């Protein structure tokens, strides 16, 4: 951690008093740096932080709250330390407003111009004008070589029949890509910002699938978001992708959860 003292001080032109590791950085090093004068910032170290900064800038351009990027260089990203002592349970209405900004329909092709990743699991991207083809290749078949034979076969079957479950050309929206409660910072009475994105363009229902996987949004939240008819039937398709990532990263019960999604889809 000592290297961060020197690098951050050089980038900011300020003295760093202390470095405290932040809990929850499973896939990268995250720390809170106390600076001279009493304020603090967040430092992230990893080989994908330059791309993360691009993603945060893309989200900010939609008018959605994210931490300000203070500096980025090589493998070090310095961010504004946003308030995070509040509770998401009291701020679902505000989250619906933020996602309305984030998910504004655009003319962007599905995907992203660079690959990304969670830990050792690559997120292949690229661009496509066909959402079914993108999801089949970049979010389902990409996992097949890394799964058990039985699970891989079921995922392949879904990829082959994917057009029966999701639309070819839904409105293209900027997705956060890893939207769950741990990546939504909440201040005293409102959401202060979204963090740790894995952005690409696609069907906005993907972000809701991820959110519903680890959190329990109330029905009033979904109603406020104005999702397209049939969105609930499509959720198992979109929820399967983060579950497959978790199967590869952590194993365990995620195998059963992935299987349950496939059962919901009749596979």
CB atoms within 10 A of CB 39: 11
Closest by alpha carbon to 163, among 209, 141, 130? 130
Alpha helices (H) along the chain: 2-12, 49-61, 92-102, 131-135, 149-160, 205-214, 219-225, 231-250, 254-264
**Residue 265 and residue 244: Cα distance in Å, rounded?**
15
Q: Torsion angle of alpha carbons 205, 23, 117, 184, nearest 10°?
A: 20
N-to-C CA span, the chain: 48
Q: Transcribe 79-91 into DSSP letters.
A: EE-----S-GGG-
Whether residue 39 lies in the annotated active site? no
Alpha helices (H) along 161-230: 205-214, 219-225
For 24, half-sphere exposure in the C-beta direction (CA atoms, 13 angstrom radius) is: 10
Catalytic residue (choose from 39, 100, 115, 178): 178
| Residues 44, 52 contacting (CB under 8 angstroms) | yes
DSSP-based three-state secondary structure for 188 = coil
Catalytic residue positions?
Answer: 178
């Amino acid at each position: 951690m000592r290297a961060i003292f020197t690098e951050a001080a050089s980038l900011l032109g300020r003295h760093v008093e202390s470095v405290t590791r932040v809990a929850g950085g499973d896939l990268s090093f995250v720390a809170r740096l106390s600076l001279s004068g009493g304020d603090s910032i967040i430092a992230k170290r990893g080989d994908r932080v330059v791309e993360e900064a691009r993603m945060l800038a893309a989200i900010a351009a939609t008018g959605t709250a994210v931490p300000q990027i203070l500096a980025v260089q090589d493998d070090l990203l310095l961010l504004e330390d946003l308030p995070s002592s509040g509770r998401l349970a009291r701020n679902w209405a505000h989250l619906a407003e933020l996602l309305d900004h984030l998910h504004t329909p655009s003319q962007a092709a599905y995907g992203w111009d660079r690959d990304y990743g969670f830990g050792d699991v690559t997120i292949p991207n690229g661009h496509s004008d066909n959402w079914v083809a993108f999801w089949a290749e970049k979010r389902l078949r990409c996992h097949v070589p890394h799964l058990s034979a039985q699970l891989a076969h079921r995922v392949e079957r879904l990829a082959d029949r994917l057009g029966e479950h999701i639309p070819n050309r839904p409105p293209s929206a900027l997705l956060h890509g890893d939207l769950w409660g741990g990546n939504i910072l909440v201040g005293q009475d409102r959401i202060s910002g979204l963090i740790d994105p894995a952005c690409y363009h696609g069907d906005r229902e993907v972000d809701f699938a991820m959110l519903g996987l680890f959190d329990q949004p109330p029905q009033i939240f979904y109603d406020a978001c104005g999702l397209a008819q049939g969105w609930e039937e499509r959720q198992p398709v979109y929820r399967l992708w983060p579950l497959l990532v978790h199967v590869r990263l952590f194993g365990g019960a995620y195998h059963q959860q992935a299987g349950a999604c496939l059962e919901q889809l009749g596979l």
